[in-house]
Amino acid sequence: MKLVVGLGNPGSQYARTRHNIGWQAIDRLADRAGWAGRGRQRDASSVVMGRYGGLDLTLVKPLTFMNDSGLAVRKVVARGHAPLTDLLVVADDFALPFGKLRFREGGSHGGHNGLRSIIDELGTEKFSRLRIGIGEPDQGAVDHVLSTFVPEETARLDELLGAAADAIEAWAREGTSKAANRFNMFELRPADTTLLAAPGEVDGPPGADGIRRTRTGWRRIRLGRSED
Q: Please state, in angstroms and as integers, the Cα–Cα distance from residue 48 to each residue in 4, 12, 23, 31, 59, following that order.
A: 10, 20, 13, 11, 5
**Among this protein's residues, is 19 annotated catalytic?**
yes
Dihedral sign from CA coordinates of 199, 97, 136, 167: positive
Distance CA 86, CA 173 (A): 11
Find the DSSP H helices in the chain.
21-33, 69-80, 113-122, 141-145, 151-174, 176-183
Active site residues: 19
